[in-house]
Amino acid sequence: MDQNKFDMLKTELLLTQQQMDKYDQLSTTIKTWAVTLWVASSGWALQTDKKTIFVLGIMLVVVFWFFDGLNKTFRTNYKKRRDEVVEILREFFNDGKVNKDVQTPQLPAYNLQGLFENTIAPHISIPYLFFIIVSIVLLFI
């Protein structure tokens, strides 16, 4: 394997992992804002006795849920490429050879394929569904 290609693969591995870490941090930020705004809107609704404000809270949760699913989709795109690079490097360390067709760098484009699946994945959807259900219960009490 050409040393330059090997170095580029190592760098690409680092870059893809760093990008995944950024998306993980962004997911935490999205969830934090969702909780903060949901609690604020729910508190406002309870304090003012305007039950329709719970609908605002539900809409906020849905918007943040969508953005969290979108974020997860982008992260998944980088994870696929990171896993490809790991496999290429594994082959190199096992056999000392790499397929001549390997291209690097090949950072992923933003692909929205899988957005729906990522949005309804349990680890994404359960917290948001909880807030929506609580809002609906409080709306009709």
What is the pLDDT, as a whole number, of residue 91?
85
Pure H helices in the chain: 3-48, 53-95, 115-120, 122-139
CA distance 15 to 106: 11
What is the pLDDT, as a whole number, of residue 117?
93
Give the confidence band of 1 by pLDDT, cuts at 50, 70, 90: low
**8-33: average pLDDT:** 95
pTM for the whole thing? Answer: 0.85
What is the pLDDT, as a whole number, of residue 138?
92
The domains of the chain are located at 3-139
The residues, ordered by sequence, that sit 6+ positions from 133 with a Cβ below 8 Å of its Cβ are none
**31-41: average pLDDT:** 97
If you average pLDDT over every residue of the chain, what do you get? 91
For residues 138 and 46, the answer to whether their CB atoms sit within 8 Å is yes
Does 4 have pLDDT greater than 80? no
CA distance 112 to 121: 15
pLDDT digits (tens, 9 = 90+) for 48-86: 988 889 999 999 999 999 999 999 999 999 999 999 999
